[in-house]
Amino acid sequence: MERLWAPWRMRYVGGKHPPGCLFCRVIENPDEPDAELVVWRPEGAIVVLNKFPYNPGHAMVAPTKHESTFEDLDDEPSLQLMRALRGTLRVLRTTLTPDGFNVGANIGSAAGAGIPDHVHLHVVPRWNGDTNFMAVIDDVKIVNEALSQTAEKLKRAFAAT
């Protein structure tokens, strides 16, 4: 049997997550270890790379206001979130040159939200053919760039905007 090693996933699978809301932790404390994945802090929002990405550049865009659903966000935080989404799409498009995007939200644990108490949008860059034979024959996804490399590339791109 051939093995693909991804030891970094054990932190997720093992369930050893710091207490509290990821987004609030990195908003309130830029020295928090997970803050290394913050690539942009626009007004009223935060953009964080997903630690367990579906594809390179998989980002989460969250309002700085802690709310669990979109309907609880007032107009101004909603507008700031959409501005951050637009900026994120723009930077990902020019920096990573994907062929498309999946943008969406999982609201509530039953819908698959890993952070159910702080509403956020997932932005997943997609490339034609990015689903390869590994996912078909062995339920394995290959992410072809280290998360730290993607983070540094995107931090430079956001800083230049």
Looking at residue 3, the DSSP 8-state letter turns out to be -
Please pick, among 58, 118, 120, 122, the residue that the annotation labels catalytic: 120
pLDDT at 41 over 70: yes
Model confidence at 61, in pLDDT bands (50, 70, 90)? very high
Q: Which of 46-50, 65-69, 86-90, 111-115 has the lowest mean pLDDT?
A: 111-115
C-alpha–C-alpha distance, residues 87 and 70, integer Å: 19
Q: Who contacts 17 (Cβ-Cβ below 8 Å, separation ≥6)?
A: none
pLDDT at 134 over 60: no
Model confidence at 142, in pLDDT bands (50, 70, 90)? low
On whether the CB atoms of residues 32 and 26 are closer than 8 A, the answer is yes
On whether the CB atoms of residues 56 and 98 are closer than 8 A, the answer is no
**Residue 120 is a catalytic residue:** yes
Domains (ranges, CATH) in the chain? 32-159 (3.30.428.10)
Residue that is written with structure tokens 């609030």 in the block: 24
